[in-house]
Structure 1
Amino acid sequence: RGLVEARRQQALAPPARPFASGSPTWLDKAEDLASSSMDFDSSVDPKETEKFGALAEEWWRPDGPFSMLHSMNPIRCRFIRQSLCAHFRLDPQQPEPLKGLRLVDVGCGGGLLTESLARMGAQVTGIDATERNIRVARLHAASDPLVAERVEYRTTTVEDMVAEGTEFD
């Protein structure tokens, strides 16, 4: 009886409201991307690398332009820890539950996630196409010896990593 009532209410509900006129939809954005001059042999968007390069000095300011990433990082790390521990049959309650894993953080920026994964015990390679981001990440990691010994930062692309044959867990 409850299911029948729920279906009846669903049928009576107004349809989802479309985007306000003038607001681009995901399809509009996809069509713009498809018609852009972006090289589809690469995951790197020059406009994005320029934008994030200009903000490189701001990565570690919790109240700066990356404040949302700082806010979501604990939740994201908890999810990653739980998922990796379940997959590799590791104990998520251990102080360094990811010890022994080799991970890659693609598009690592200033290293927010990279450092968090290293603190959980993983050996992490952070890659970013923006040299300024990598410089900031290296400087920040150097301030913590535990992190510094577990991370490697490289200015490269995921395509180049694949071409090298580098493997991660």
Structure 2
Amino acid sequence: MRFFFPLVLLFTAIGLGIYAYLGGLRPPAVALETTAAPVLLAGQPFHGKVQDERFGELFRAAKSRQDASPALPLANLYYNNPESAHDSVRAFIGVLVPDTAARLPAGWRYRVVPAGQRVVAARVRGVSFLLAPGKLYAAAEEFIKDRQLTKQPFYLEQFGPDETDELRVGVK
């Protein structure tokens, strides 16, 4: 029993060290913005349950596309809140592209988020892909709640190859 407390301290220290190494202690920067330019995505639409095998396949396809062109960030456009839509999600999974010049794989198409959208933008750099979504969504939700803004049904996630991650939530 006398070794229990030191072991708990040791495992807590190791867990906190791993969390810090993955960037868990870095807070996101959050701001209210209006998008200046349209955002162009290339990918595939999805509508269904989050546990659906196809949902995972779309992420793997987007990741392999990003691996082929490392400068392209992964980008996901959700039409309902993926954090609260436990049973069904409407999404477009793919990568952010600069223009329509690239040839797309079979089944892929383009989607545009038009300029002039009022959004809450949460950004974080140097945080692992495993931790970034939770940090970004929590920061954006808190910002929206604090300023009593009304959410629009669009969430745009971007996960850059150099751990520069961003979430844009549409607001009124």
Give the TM bin, normalised by the shorter chain.
Answer: under 0.3
- Whose Rg is larger? 1
Could you say which structure has the higher strand fraction?
2
Structure number with higher relative contact order (C-alpha < 8 Å, ≥ 6 residues apart): 2
TM-score (norm. length: structure 1) = 0.22
Could you say which structure has the higher helix fraction?
1
